[in-house]
Amino acid sequence: MPPIKKLLLAATAISIALAGQAMAHAHLKSAVPAADGTVKSAPSELDLTFSESLNVKFSGVKITGPDKATAKTGEAMLMNSGTTLMVPVADKLAPGKYTVEWHVLSTDGHKTNGSYSFTIAP
Ligand SMILES: [Cu+2]
């Protein structure tokens, strides 16, 4: 086999291995209230369900309201074998659009983050 072909094969094998690892990271699968959803009343907690189990010490959310203020949240807890991050909402949220910025550390040691929005109907 020519050396360049060997090199290409090796590169392909490495990128497949990396892609496999990336797929094992914790991705947000579902949320309550749902991403891009509208709820009729203010939620007393947020539930974020991930593809992997999490380390709660290094996982959390920041909820930003329509007035750009950060909503007060309680201590996050894990449910569903560690895949659901439950975050109590201490404030009574007013109607409007909220952005949830999440960051998690999965038990395989990888950090992921993202954000989504939900709306509380007036
Ligand atoms: Cu990972």
Do the domain assignments include residue 3?
Answer: no
How far apart are the CA of 120 and the centre of ligand 1, in A? 33
Q: What percentage of the chain has pLDDT greater than the value 90?
A: 78
Residue 122: exposed, middle, or buried by beta-carbon count in 10 A (0-12, 13-18, 19+)? Answer: exposed
How far apart are the CA of 81 and the centre of ligand 1, in A? 17
How far apart are the CA of 110 and the centre of ligand 1, in A? 4
Q: Which CATH number does the domain housing residue 115 bear?
A: 2.60.40.1220
Q: What is the pLDDT of residue 22?
A: 52
User: What is the extent of the structural domain holding 78?
Assistant: 26-120
How far apart are the CA of 112 and the centre of ligand 1, in A? 8
- How many angstroms separate the CA atoms of 73 and 59, rounded? 13
For the stretch 2-15, pLDDT in tens is 776 776 677 666 56
Do the domain assignments include residue 72?
Answer: yes
For the stretch 51-72, pLDDT in tens is 999 999 999 999 999 989 999 9
Fill in the amino acid letter for 106: S
Q: What percentage of the chain has pLDDT greater than the value 70?
A: 83
How far apart are the CA of 83 and the centre of ligand 1, in A? 13
CB 102 within 8 Å of CB 61: yes
Do the domain assignments include residue 17?
Answer: no
Fill in the amino acid letter for 113: N
Q: What is the pLDDT of residue 3?
A: 72
Do the domain assignments include residue 32?
Answer: yes
Instruction: Please give the average per-residue pLDDT across 75-104, as a whole number.
Output: 97
User: What confidence tier does 92 reach under pLDDT thresholds 50, 70, 90?
Assistant: very high
Do the domain assignments include residue 68?
Answer: yes
Do the domain assignments include residue 34?
Answer: yes
CB 65 within 8 Å of CB 100: no
